[in-house]
């Protein structure tokens, strides 16, 4: 089991990158990667999940119930990083197969601990 995420401080607005995907901070920012673990602000709540690439566009797939939501310009995301600073990613198998997820609550946020 990996170590818990200590703090997530940077929030990004996402923008189309002109290549069919979404980038952080500006159209020229770093492109969100397939399988990249993120939190996304939906309806005033931060939801943990991962980025999914598809020929129909990019999606956010929620970790808890695997619900998919299309990404749109202006959405707010936070990149999940381990205590060591590396970006967290999930395999495609995670997005297709339900599994038990261990989480830890810190303040008003719940973080997955078994990436």
Is the pLDDT at 60 greater than 70? The verdict is yes
Q: How remote is the C-alpha of 96 from its chain's centroid?
A: 16
Beta-bridge mates of residue 108: none
Question: Cα angle vertex 87, ends 29, 6, to 5°?
Answer: 115
Burial grade of 49 (CB within 10 A; 0-12, 13-18, 19 or more)? buried
The total of other beta-carbon atoms located within 10 Å of residue 64's CB is 13
User: Which pLDDT does position 38 carry in this prediction?
Assistant: 93
Which residues contact residue 105 at a Cβ distance below 8 angstroms, ignoring those fewer than 6 apart?
Answer: 111
Q: How remote is the C-alpha of 72 from its chain's centroid?
A: 14
30 close to 14: Cβ distance less than 8 angstroms: no
**By C-alpha distance, which of 32, 65, 67, 63 is closest to 48?**
63
Q: What percent of the chain has pLDDT over 70?
A: 62
What mean pLDDT comes out for the span 102-109? 48
What mean pLDDT comes out for the span 66-76? 95
56 or 102, which is more confident: 56
| Dist. CA 1–CA 20, nearest whole Å | 34
Mean pLDDT of the chain: 75
For the chain, give every domain's residue range. Answer: 12-112
Query: What is the tens place of the pLDDT at every residue in 16-42?
Result: 999 999 999 999 999 999 999 999 999
């Amino acid at each position: 089991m990996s170590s818990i995420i200590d703090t997530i401080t940077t929030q990004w607005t996402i923008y189309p990158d002109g290549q069919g995907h979404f980038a952080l901070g500006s159209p020229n920012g770093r492109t969100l990667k397939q399988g990249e673990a993120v939190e996304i602000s939906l309806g005033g709540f931060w939801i943990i999940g991962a980025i999914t690439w598809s020929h129909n566009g990019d999606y956010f797939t929620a970790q808890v119930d695997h619900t998919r939501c299309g990404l749109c310009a202006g959405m707010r995301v936070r990149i999940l990083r381990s205590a060591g600073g590396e970006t967290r990613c999930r395999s495609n198998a995670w997005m297709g197969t339900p599994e038990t997820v261990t989480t830890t609550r810190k303040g008003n946020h719940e973080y997955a601990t078994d990436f």
